[in-house]
Homo-oligomer: A and B are copies of this chain.
Amino acid sequence: MDSKKSIFTTGEFADLCGVKKQTLFHYDEIGLLKPEYRSENGYRSYSVHQVEIFIVIDMLKEIGMSLTEIKNFLQFKSLKSSIELLTEKEKIVKMKIKKMQHTQKLIQNKKKQIKEALQLNFDRFTIEEMDTEWYVLSENILNLPDKDATKVSMLFLKYMKQEGLFIDNAGALIRQEQVEAGDYLNYSNLYFRTHQLDLAEKISKKSGKYAVGYHKGSYLTIHETYEKIKDYLTKEGYRVCGHSFEEFLYVMEGASLSVEDNYVTKIMIKVEEN
């Protein structure tokens, strides 16, 4: 006569919700989700309907609200403002979906990159015939003071990030004169490889023979690799005839425990035979 159907213990309810009992204790403690009642033995009892509350809590948590915020929201002090909040959250969810889709692309790209890396020999220099490629270029920063150059670069990178174009590798362009002068850290532009040709205004290209080498380790020691490539070129009867393009890989099978030792920069310098 006083049967109570669909009443769950803490363990059952936790299982149902896909969390640990601890979490429910916590929610009880902070008053976010208290059990319907306690039995005489002190055991918590949750009802079916509370599963629904939990689902809402879980959802709000998922979209980045803190438990305190959620508690306030569930107070429903004003239904109108609740609707407003939900409308706002709807936008956030849309953005998150977009971000996740971007992440998907990023992962695919990284996988491709690693697969390529598996085929590569980072210790050898080569001369390669390369096709034209299209880049989105930053403004020229060569003749700017370092401070200003940094600002321009920042704006460029922020823009690219914001537009979701930060999927492929970023690169740096070093002009022939700087390469020849050994002024390797004096970039003239940053760039991104792109397949979107509608970004036409800021595009540059290259095609022909390139010396390809890989620099392992810090940015600061890249001159060493450049010098080695130059030696290699002399030996092979080539000389620099254009700009250098640096792209960043950082996927070397890591013997080293130090993260940054695994950084690899791909260097491509336009060359021709003597």
**A128 is an interface residue with CB less than 8 A from chain B:** no
| Oligomeric state, in copies | 2
**A259 is an interface residue with CB less than 8 A from chain B:** yes
State in angstroms the CA–CA spacing of A187 and B7 once bound together.
11
Task: Flag if A3 contacts B108 (CB, 8 Å).
Answer: no
Task: Flag if B36 contacts A220 (CB, 8 Å).
Answer: yes
**A16 is an interface residue with CB less than 8 A from chain B:** yes
State in angstroms the CA–CA spacing of A259 and B53 once bound together.
10
Task: Flag if A55 contacts B166 (CB, 8 Å).
Answer: yes
Shortest Cβ distance from residue A126 to the other chain B in the assembled complex, whole angstroms? 21
Task: Flag if B183 contacts A2 (CB, 8 Å).
Answer: yes
Contacting chain B: which of A203-211, A229-237, A250-258? A250-258
Task: Flag if A59 contacts B187 (CB, 8 Å).
Answer: no
Q: Which B residue sits closest to A141, measured CB to CB?
A: B5
Chain B residues with CB under 8 A of A15: 154, 158
Task: Flag if B3 contacts A49 (CB, 8 Å).
Answer: no
- Find A97's partner among B79, B101, B218 (CB 8 Å cutoff): B101
- Find A100's partner among B32, B36, B96 (CB 8 Å cutoff): B96
- Considering the complex, which residues of chain A in the window 149-191 have a beta carbon less than 8 Å from any beta carbon of chain B? 149-150, 153-154, 157-158, 161, 166, 169-170, 172, 181, 183, 185-187, 190
**A130 is an interface residue with CB less than 8 A from chain B:** no
Shortest Cβ distance from residue A192 to the other chain B in the assembled complex, whole angstroms? 11
State in angstroms the CA–CA spacing of A103 and B91 once bound together.
12
Chain B residues with CB under 8 A of A195: none
Known interface pairs A75-B254, A185-B5, A218-B37; A249-B49 also in contact (CB < 8 Å): yes
Task: Flag if A79 contacts B6 (CB, 8 Å).
Answer: no
Binary per-residue interface labels of chain A (76-105) against chain B in the complex, 1 for a CB within 8 Å, 0 otherwise: 111110110011011001101101110110
Chain B residues with CB under 8 A of A36: 218-220, 260
**A118 is an interface residue with CB less than 8 A from chain B:** yes
Task: Flag if B5 contacts A187 (CB, 8 Å).
Answer: yes
- Find A90's partner among B4, B104, B181, B259 (CB 8 Å cutoff): B104
State in angstroms the CA–CA spacing of A79 and B119 once bound together.
11
Task: Flag if B114 contacts A86 (CB, 8 Å).
Answer: yes
The 3 closest A-B pairs by CB, nearest first: A49-B248, A76-B254, A5-B187
Complex A-B: 11 CB contacts under 8 Å: A1-B183, A4-B185, A6-B149, A15-B154, A31-B259, A53-B249, A56-B249, A76-B251, A77-B254, A89-B107, A93-B107
